[in-house]
Amino acid sequence: MHAIHCSGLNVQNVWIRYFSLTGNVSEFEIDAYLNGAITLTALDRDLVSHAVNELITETPPPPAAPYSDHPEDPVVMAALSGQENRDALDGLVNADDMDEVDEVDDGSTGAGEGT
């Protein structure tokens, strides 16, 4: 029963899978067995276990917490987008600064030559 609760399975799904594996007791009996009210034959117990294990392996794993360098992490993606934008802006600002520096250099050189 612990495996069923931990994996989020319900009795109906377990019974349907059990039944498809040639099990022949009712859903009510499976529910009673899983809650400890009755016992089943060894074959039926193994079929229930097999049904539960099959269902567990078909259940997708829960999402994991992403690390900071994970490419699909939305925070990382936003930061990378922001960094790319900042890099592009830095390139524009640096190009503009270079023009201003050239103008200042040209003006200061001319002023120095004139005195």
- Boundary residue ending a domain (58, 83, 105): 58
| Residue pLDDT, tens place only, 43-94 | 999 999 999 999 999 998 888 887 777 666 666 566 666 655 556 555 555 5
* Same-domain pairing of 82 and 51: no
* Same-domain pairing of 45 and 17: yes
**pLDDT at residue 92 in the model:** 53
* 12-23 CB burial, b ≥16 within 10 A, e <16: eebbbbbbeeeb
Q: Which residue has the higher pLDDT, 74 or 102?
A: 74
Please, where are the H alpha helices in 21-73?
Answer: 27-34, 42-58
Token output for 76: 């990382």
In angstroms, the CA 4 to CA 84 distance is: 47
* Same-domain pairing of 51 and 81: no
In a domain, 28, yes or no: yes
Q: Which residue has the higher pLDDT, 98 or 39?
A: 39
Q: Tell me: pLDDT of 18 over 60.
A: yes
Q: Which amino acid is at 77?
A: M
In a domain, 63, yes or no: no
How many CA atoms, within 13 angstroms, populate the side-chain half-sphere of residue 36?
Answer: 2
What's the Cα-to-Cα distance from 7 to each of 2, 22, 54, 71, rounded to whole Å? 9, 23, 12, 28
Domain residues for the domain of 53 are 2-58
* Same-domain pairing of 53 and 77: no
* Same-domain pairing of 114 and 77: yes
Number of domains in the chain: 2
Place of tokens 């019974």: 15
In a domain, 109, yes or no: yes
* Same-domain pairing of 72 and 109: yes
* Same-domain pairing of 10 and 53: yes
